[in-house]
Amino acid sequence: MEELSRGRALGKVTAVIEESERSPMGTMKKIMQENPDIVNMSIGEANFDPPAELIDIACRLSADKVNRRSLYTSTRGLPPLRQAIARYMKKTLGADADPDENILVTVGGTEALHLAIKVLVRPGDKVLLPNPGWGALEGLMRRQGPEILYYPLRKAHAWTVDTDAVLQAMHAGVKVLVVNSPSNPTGAMVVDSAGWARIMEKAKELDIFVFSDEVYHVYTYEGPFVSAVGLDPTFENLLLIDSFSKAFAVMGWRIGYAVAHPWLIRQMDVYKETVSACTPSIAQWAFAEYLDSCDAYLEQRRAMLKDNMEKMVARLNAIPGVFCPKAQGGFYLLPDFSALEPSSVAMVEKLLRGGVATAPGAAFGSMGEGCLRLLFSQEWLDVDKAVSRIEKTLAG
């Protein structure tokens, strides 16, 4: 009956994806639109204002009728933006990258991952992913047909990327290792440079290619952020993925970038030409002009997010039956509600009836079951409202 309902032509088609792969965030967004009183703690957005200077630059450039900024750019990205990204990397990560050879501007960090996976992963390859981890990553990988393996994150006073667990899971048959630090959904980080050094040393020994997803690196709360990029300056075993979407609260602008070996960048560049042609032009022009003056904005927002996180952790841990590890970075918490309800989906439904939208931990892997992902990127009044509703619902 299902095949007939598609018609004869579509009945000949073998699905390349399962519709169950759709992120629960789409459903949450629909619920939010239908009931605006629900407080959104589920959708992975930076719910604070983008930099006013950046918006002013974009408006001015959009209105320039002499130099038309609305045309296609080069697929690789505007040269002034790639140069600005190289300076930004030097400033924030202490790393060097050649703007002409190592950098590709992409439609968000997601396209960077998509292109790299398309170029590097083949059916039957073994890839190693975090658990819990960003759900879309597994979907992107699965469509290429590899065998997916996992390494667990560690849950204590904070979620952390367990270096020993990563090393134990790495073996000669693995082709790609993905490390997301700070992590979505947990806020976990590779804690120190020694951890990264051990991972990269073993990756080079075993010829494993490492995808380092660092899109939340500007928002870290426990010591300086440590990037993988300084440990492989020639990018023979490393792809760095970053995005301006979350850092500067411009998710809809869709602008990110990949930093990698010149060969891989050329491969991804050619593939991108047939996928998206270029990254949104006005966003590129605006960031090319703005990036060098972003420090004050990032520091202000980091302080706000850290304060939100610490107050939210204290409030949630005061609820009987809830355990909430701190986030080391990013703007998500993944507290454990399993003592109250083992099913994360059931707990999502319970809190939704109480007026708060959350994301089920099971959507991020088996290690996330019993947990919920909560956002703390709103202004505190909204975070306070959501936590108060959670407290009231669980006390009822």
Q: What is the set of domains in the chain, with CATH numbers?
A: 22-50+296-395 (3.90.1150.10), 66-293 (3.40.640.10)
Return the ∠ at Cα 391 (arms to 154 and 27), rounded to 5°: 70
Q: Any idea what DSSP says for residue 366? A: G
Distance, CA of 301 to CA of 307 (rounded, Å): 10
Distance CA 205, CA 196 (A): 14
pLDDT at position 29: 62
Of residues 10, 41, 17, the one with CA closest to residue 384 = 41
Closest CA to 244 of 106, 133, 91: 106
pLDDT single digits (tens) 89-142: 999 999 999 999 999 999 999 999 999 999 999 999 999 999 999 988 999 999
Burial class, 136, CB count within 10 angstroms (exposed 0-12 / middle 13-18 / buried 19+): middle
Give the residues across from 76 on adjacent strands. none
- Give residue 1's pLDDT: 37
List phi, psi (to 5°) of 5: -65, -20
d(CA 230, CA 196): 10
CA 1 vs. chain centroid, Å, equals 39
Residue with tokens 């020994």: 205
Q: Is residue 284's pLDDT more than 90?
A: yes
Q: Which two tokens stand for residue 42?
A: 């589920």
Beta bridge partners of 257: 105, 242
Sign of the Cα torsion 286, 287, 293, 294 reads positive
Residue 57 confidence (pLDDT): 98
| Nearest in space to 291 (alpha carbons), one of 242, 252, 221, 339 | 242
Write the CA distances from 205 to 128, 150, 162, 201, 300, integer angstroms. Answer: 16, 20, 20, 6, 41
**pLDDT surpassing 80 at residue 33:** no
Residue 27 pLDDT exceeds 90: no
Residue with tokens 């610490």: 310
pLDDT on residue 20 = 56
Give the pLDDT of residue 8: 73
Mean pLDDT of the chain: 92
Reported as a single tens digit per residue, the pLDDT across 320-371 is 999 999 999 999 999 999 999 999 999 999 999 999 999 999 999 999 999 9
**Pairwise CA distance, residues 208 & 216, whole Å:** 24
Q: Measured in whole angstroms, how far is the alpha carbon of residue 361 from the centre of its chain?
A: 15
| Residue burial 70-104, b: 16+ Cβ < 10 Å; e: rest | eeebebbbbeebbebbbebbeebbebebebeebbb
Out of 55-64, 155-164, 194-203, 326-335, least confident range: 155-164
Lowest mean pLDDT among 18-32, 157-171, 265-279: 18-32
Question: Does residue 84 carry a pLDDT above 80?
Answer: yes
Beta bridge partners of 329: 220
Distance CA 17, CA 356 (A): 30
Distance CA 165, CA 198 (A): 12
Q: What is the pLDDT of residue 192?
A: 83
Residue that wins the pLDDT comparison between 396 and 248: 248
Confidence of residue 22 (pLDDT cuts 50, 70, 90): low
The C-alpha atoms of residue 363 and residue 359 are separated, in whole angstroms, by: 8
Q: Which residues of 296-335 are buried (b: 16+ CB within 10 A; e: fewer)?
A: ebeeebbebbbebbeebbebbeebeebebbbbbbbbbbbb
What's the pTM value of the predicted model, to 2 decimals? 0.92
Under 8 Å between Cβ of 224 and 190: no
Note the helical H segments in the chain: 2-5, 7-11, 24-34, 52-62, 79-93, 108-120, 135-142, 163-169, 193-206, 262-275, 281-290, 295-317, 344-353, 380-395
Q: How large is the average pLDDT for residues 200-212?
A: 97
Q: Which of 135, 123, 90 is nearest to 291 (CA)?
A: 90
Say what the pLDDT of residue 30 is: 65
Sign of CA dihedral 306, 310, 316, 321: positive
What is the per-residue pLDDT for 23? Answer: 55
- As a whole number of angstroms, the distance between CA 396 and CA 391 comes to 9
